[in-house]
Amino acid sequence: MGSLEKQTDPTSPMHWRGDMQADYFYPSGIAGDKFFRHLMQKDSFLADTCPKCNKIYCPPRLYCEDCFEEIPDNSWKEVPSVGTVRLYTVAKLNAHGEKMKSPKIIALIDIDGTNGAMLGTIDSNDFEKDFTGIKVKAILRPKEKREGTIKDILHYKEI
């Protein structure tokens, strides 16, 4: 008998399990490198300004996204790591779709004095509150533990 035979052992069909190695490597780039190296030393952000349309980028860019103008080095400036919450969501599931012990508030924060915005989490246990429009400040890792990635920003806290 072949494929028409009666299957009596439910464990006989096997499974083949495997791991796929799919490493992810993201270099910060020239502008990003400058931004993160600054963030490793200071508690403020860097921003730069397009010489043509005066759009202020934070995180900084080498080229303007709107008018493709090259942004010169002399337009770089330091801005405080303070912003206003543009929008937010309360996440209850993690990246694997599992329920988290405590929800996470993920927000898009307009950095004050710039036209840029950063994604981050808000440190709060009040999940009913409307956070839109509130002022927040970035809380960073202790200086000796900073690695030069976005994770150096632990979260944002209301001020």
Partner 1 sequence: MAEKKKDWPPYAPGTYVRESDIREKKITYTWWEPEVQYSWSLGPAMSKFLQGLKNGKIIGIHCKRCKRVIVPPRMFCEYCFGPTEEWVEVADTGIIETFSISYLDPDARRIEDPILVGVVDFDGTPPHHGFMHYFGEMTKDEIKIGMRVKAVWKPEDERVGSITDILYFRPLKGGET
Q: How far apart are CA 57 and CA 48, in angstroms?
A: 5
Nearer residue to partner 1 within complex by CB, 55 or 61: 61
- The answer to whether residues 107 and 120 touch, using CB atoms and an 8 Å cutoff, is yes
Q: How far apart are CA 65 and CA 50, in angstroms?
A: 9
Q: Tell me the closest approach of the beta carbon of residue 106 to partner 1, in angstroms.
A: 18
14 forms part of the interface with partner 1 (CB under 8 A): yes
Three-class SS of residue 100? strand
- Tell me, by CB under 8 A, how many residues bind partner 1: 34
Q: Tell me the closest approach of the beta carbon of residue 151 to partner 1, in angstroms.
A: 8
What does the block give as tokens for 20? 């796929």
* Alpha carbon distances (Å) from 55 to 96, 107, 111: 37, 22, 13
> By CB under 8 A, what part of segment 55-94 binds partner 1?
62-63, 68
Stretch that binds partner 1, among 1-9, 71-79, 80-88, 110-118 (CB under 8 A): 1-9
Nearer residue to partner 1 within complex by CB, 62 or 106: 62
Stretch that binds partner 1, among 10-18, 43-51, 76-84, 120-128 (CB under 8 A): 10-18
**DSSP single-letter state for residue 44:** S
Burial string for 95-117 (b: 16+ CB within 10 Å, else e) reads eeeeeeeeebbebebbbbebbbb
**Mask of contacts with partner 1, 118-157, x by CB under 8 A?**
-----------------------------xxxx-------
User: Which spans of this chain sit near partner 1 (rule: CB under 8 A)?
Assistant: 1-4, 7, 12-28, 30, 32-33, 36-37, 62-63, 68, 147-150
